[in-house]
Amino acid sequence: MTTVNRLDLVISVLFALVGAYVLVGSMELKAMPGMAVGPGLFPAITGAGMLFFGLVMLAQTWMGRGTDASDELAVDEPAEDDGGPITLIDRLYNPLLLLAILALILLMPVLGFLITASIFVFAMVMLGGGGWLQAIIFAVVMTGLTYALFVYGLRVPVPVAMWG
């Protein structure tokens, strides 16, 4: 017998409400003269997506198409492991990720977008198990594409280093 998962119900309603709030708030952001894309575009897309998927999750939960009560994983039951040994990187992944995001936020005004984003992307690839060459190439390409998208495509300035 399927049951309505109360946690899924609460999460889906909250997700949809936050999405609606973001969507309405983004509509109040006016575009600058001469710009086809205003500052509210990405928040509007995000809010609409959150609203839509919150409503989808709500509908699935309400109709009982979520999980069967017998299929749910018990809280004290360990999740399946891939069988490999847990490494130091596995144990430190989340703290290192948070540290990298904090460093990104703090260093962006000092080093500028290009240097900080390149270091961040490099660190994320290395943290994910990539090799040195792969990390360098991916960091340069992704930072360049992101820079081009914001500066040339959307005409949104990115932070520059304190020294220019």
C-alpha 92/C-alpha 99 separation (Å) is 10
C-alpha 53/C-alpha 64 separation (Å) is 16
Q: For the purposes of burial, counting CB atoms within 10 Å of the CB of 127, is it exposed (0-12), middle (13-18) or buried (19 or more)?
A: middle
The residue extents of the domains of the chain are 6-62, 88-153
Residue 150: pLDDT band (50, 70, 90) is: confident
% of the chain beyond a pLDDT of 70: 83
Q: Is the pLDDT of residue 164 over 90?
A: no
The total of other beta-carbon atoms located within 10 Å of residue 140's CB is 14
Provide the whole-model pTM: 0.53
C-alpha 129/C-alpha 82 separation (Å) is 16
